Copies of this chain bind each other. A is one copy, B any other.
Amino acid sequence: MPQPFDLTACEALELIRRKKLGVLELLDSCLSRVETLEPEINAWKFLAPEAARDRAKQLDNSDPDSPMHGIPLGVKDVIDTADMPSGYGSPIYERHRPAADAACVAVAKRNGAIILGKTVTTEFACGSTARTSNPLNINHTSGGSSAGSCAAVAAKMIPVSFGTQSASSTIRPASYCGLVGMRPSMGVISVAGFKYFNGSFDTIGLLARSVDDVELLWTSQMDVPFKPGALRAKAPKILVCYPPWMTGCEPSAREAIDKTAAAMAAAGAKIELLELPAEYADLPELHYEIQRFETARSYAHEYGTAADRLDWRVRQTVEEGMKIRGDRYIEMTKRAQKLRHEFPALMGDADAIMTNAAPGEAPQNWRLLGDDFKMGDPLQSRAWTLLHLPTVTVPSLIGPQGLPVGVQFLSPFGSDQALLGIARWAESVLKPSLVARSA
């Protein structure tokens, strides 16, 4: 029999508004789920169950008319919270308590969401690893850097969470955990209070188990009315893309694209193959070099005062970034601006590009590999992040290790809601063929 924690945020909201479910009832169900699974998953850096229960009681005594009334929400620990520690995944910030909530947190609270706690992140969303298990198989990583935000939603401890993405930190772990994940258009959701990483790329990521829930998060942040769930009437035109940087991917990454294209075509979508222009080949490296230049500045203080306490990958990124000259950075930025401007022409009259979301299934973790485990390569989303596009991943298939593999849909800057419409249509086409997963 389904429990409240099984519900999506939209399903729960509907019941709460009809007085069929209490906010506290939902929260306690989620907390029981946390209690059961957290010891093996390690999704949370900090939990605030009592403050959350107090808030739930308040909300049970008020009109359920706010957009996220009573919905439990997880917040990645690189996003500031004034009433909880914000450690940024770094020993330097172990007891850090910011003065203010991040913009996305303050807006979510105003909209009735309940912040259940802070989720595990790699250091500064840039470090090498975090010891969070994939709820679908605890011997595998949940991916990074939004490790805990993905694991907590996949384990049904919470219906929705905030991650971040400056390279592939939302889309990749969402694919690993079988989630719907969104990186909105660059800049449209405020990053005020996200521990500054890359001014050119920092984005708040949205994580959920359905496209509707991702759209609920997006619309509530943007103060746009949420009209849930209607499927687009017309089958979309989709450009299928196998980028040159897929060379090292597992076969399942390509199979996810193939399968999704076939399923969408069978449902009436027009599918065409997109050959990326030759100048796209080095976009992952262009992203990475801009990222290093900016990271050297973002963490100049930490590097200057406590370099020995930095994760090796953060330190390496800073040191490499310090070797890049500002005039080269400006030229790279201008090239990125030009490509962003030209992107809509590449799309033509298509509704979206569909491509891989990750290099394959979630890698094995420390339980099988010891300290040498990895969280997966960010390469597959660097180009799309560079281009400031909105992107949504949906699960496509179950790979040979029994873990999900997603695809991602991309469209021009600012077309976030239209893209969610495409993702919802794809979700409806793909869902019946996905093996039911139990957490």
Residues of A with Cβ closer than 8 Å to B? 82, 93, 96, 99-103, 105-107, 109-110, 185, 187-188, 190-193, 196, 199-200, 219, 221-224, 294, 297-298, 300-302, 304-305, 322, 324-327, 329-331, 333-334, 337, 340-341, 413-414, 416-417
- Docked Cα-Cα span, A196 to B104, in Å, equals 13
Contact B199 A326 (CB under 8 A): no
Contact B327 A222 (CB under 8 A): yes
Contact A110 B300 (CB under 8 A): yes
SS class of chain A's interface: helix, strand, loop or mixed? helix
Contact B330 A185 (CB under 8 A): yes
Number of copies: 2
Contact residue among B93, B187, B301 (Cβ-Cβ distance under 8 Å from A101): B301
A110-B300, A300-B101, A326-B224 are contacts. A192–B199 as well, Cβ < 8 Å? yes
Contact B326 A190 (CB under 8 A): no
* 19 A-B pairs in the complex with CB atoms less than 8 angstroms apart: A82-B301, A82-B305, A103-B301, A107-B300, A110-B300, A110-B304, A185-B330, A188-B333, A190-B196, A190-B199, A191-B199, A192-B199, A192-B298, A222-B329, A224-B325, A224-B326, A337-B340, A337-B341, A341-B341
What's the nearest-Cβ distance from chain B to residue A75, in Å?
13
9 closest Cβ pairs, A-B complex? A222-B326, A106-B300, A192-B196, A190-B297, A100-B301, A103-B297, A101-B301, A106-B301, A330-B414
Contacts of A324 in B (CB 8 A): 223
What's the nearest-Cβ distance from chain B to residue A31, in Å?
25
Contacts of A106 in B (CB 8 A): 297, 300-301, 304
A82-B301, A101-B300, A297-B107 are contacts. A414–B190 as well, Cβ < 8 Å? no
Contact A222 B333 (CB under 8 A): no
Contact B103 A300 (CB under 8 A): yes
Contacts of A302 in B (CB 8 A): 100
Contact A224 B327 (CB under 8 A): yes
Contacts of A110 in B (CB 8 A): 300, 304
- Docked Cα-Cα span, A106 to B294, in Å, equals 13
Contact residue among B105, B200, B414 (Cβ-Cβ distance under 8 Å from A187): B200
What's the nearest-Cβ distance from chain B to residue A228, in Å?
17
Interface-centre pick from A103, A105, A192, A325 (highest chain B CB count, 10 A):
A192
Contact A199 B187 (CB under 8 A): yes
Contact A333 B187 (CB under 8 A): yes
Contact A93 B103 (CB under 8 A): no
What's the nearest-Cβ distance from chain B to residue A5, in Å?
28
Contact residue among B107, B188, B301, B325 (Cβ-Cβ distance under 8 Å from A222): B325
Beyond A107-B300, A192-B196, A222-B325, 7 additional contacts (C-beta under 8 Å) are: A101-B301, A103-B297, A103-B298, A192-B199, A222-B326, A331-B414, A337-B340
- Docked Cα-Cα span, A199 to B82, in Å, equals 21
Contacts of A224 in B (CB 8 A): 325-327
Interface-centre pick from A96, A191, A300, A329 (highest chain B CB count, 10 A):
A300
Contacts of A330 in B (CB 8 A): 185, 188, 414, 416
- Docked Cα-Cα span, A325 to B417, in Å, equals 14
- Docked Cα-Cα span, A105 to B304, in Å, equals 11
Contacts of A103 in B (CB 8 A): 196, 297-298, 300-301
- Docked Cα-Cα span, A100 to B207, in Å, equals 29
What's the nearest-Cβ distance from chain B to residue A421, in Å?
14
- Docked Cα-Cα span, A193 to B196, in Å, equals 8
What's the nearest-Cβ distance from chain B to residue A286, in Å?
15
What's the nearest-Cβ distance from chain B to residue A253, in Å?
31
Contact B190 A294 (CB under 8 A): yes
What's the nearest-Cβ distance from chain B to residue A380, in Å?
25
Contact residue among B99, B100, B298 (Cβ-Cβ distance under 8 Å from A190): B298
Contact A333 B414 (CB under 8 A): yes
Contacts of A325 in B (CB 8 A): 222-224
Interface-centre pick from A106, A107, A219, A302 (highest chain B CB count, 10 A):
A106
Contacts of A221 in B (CB 8 A): 326
Contact residue among B96, B193, B334 (Cβ-Cβ distance under 8 Å from A99): B96
- Docked Cα-Cα span, A424 to B291, in Å, equals 32
